[in-house]
Amino acid sequence: MTTPRDLLIVFGSVQRVMRSEKAAREHGLDVDAGPAPRSVSSECGVVLEARSADANALSDILDTLKLVPKAVYRRQSGTWTPGTLRSTVSVDAVKLTRGSAYGGCGAKLSKGLLHTVLCGLPRLESDDLIVGIESADDAGVMKVSDELAIIHTTDFFPPMVDDPYTFGRIAATNALSDVWAMGGTPLAAMNLVSYPLKELGRDALKEILRGGLEAMAESGAVLAGGHTVEGQELLYGLAVTGTVHPDKVWRNGGALPGDALVLTKPLGTGLVTTAAKGEMAEADHITTAMRWMTTLNKDAALVLRNLDPHAVTDVTGFGLAGHAAEMAEASGCALELDLEALPAMPGALEAAATGLVPVGAGKNRTSIAAVLEIADGADELRVDLALDPQTSGGLLAAVSPDAAESLVRRLPGAAIVGRVTDGDAGAIRLL
| Residues acting as catalytic residues | 105
Residues 6 or more apart whose Cβ sits within 8 Å of residue 44: 11, 12, 13, 14, 17
Inter-helix orientation angle 55-65/164-181, to 10°: 140
Q: CA 390, CA 291: separation in Å to the nearest integer?
A: 14
The residues with which 244 forms a beta bridge, in sequence order, are: 149
What is the C-alpha to C-alpha distance for residues 247 and 114, in angstroms, rounded to an integer? 30
Cα angle 8-14-16, degrees, rounded to a multiple of 5 = 75
In a 13 Å sphere around the CA of 237, the CA atoms on its Cβ side amount to: 22
The Cα-based distances of 317 to 56, 120, 288, 320 in angstroms read 26, 24, 19, 9
DSSP 8-state code for residue 391: S
181, 234 Cβ separation under 8 angstroms: no
**DSSP-assigned states of every residue in 321-385:** HHHHHHHHHHHTSEEEE-GGG--B-TTHHHHHHTT---HHHHHHHHHTTTTEEE-TT--HHHHHH
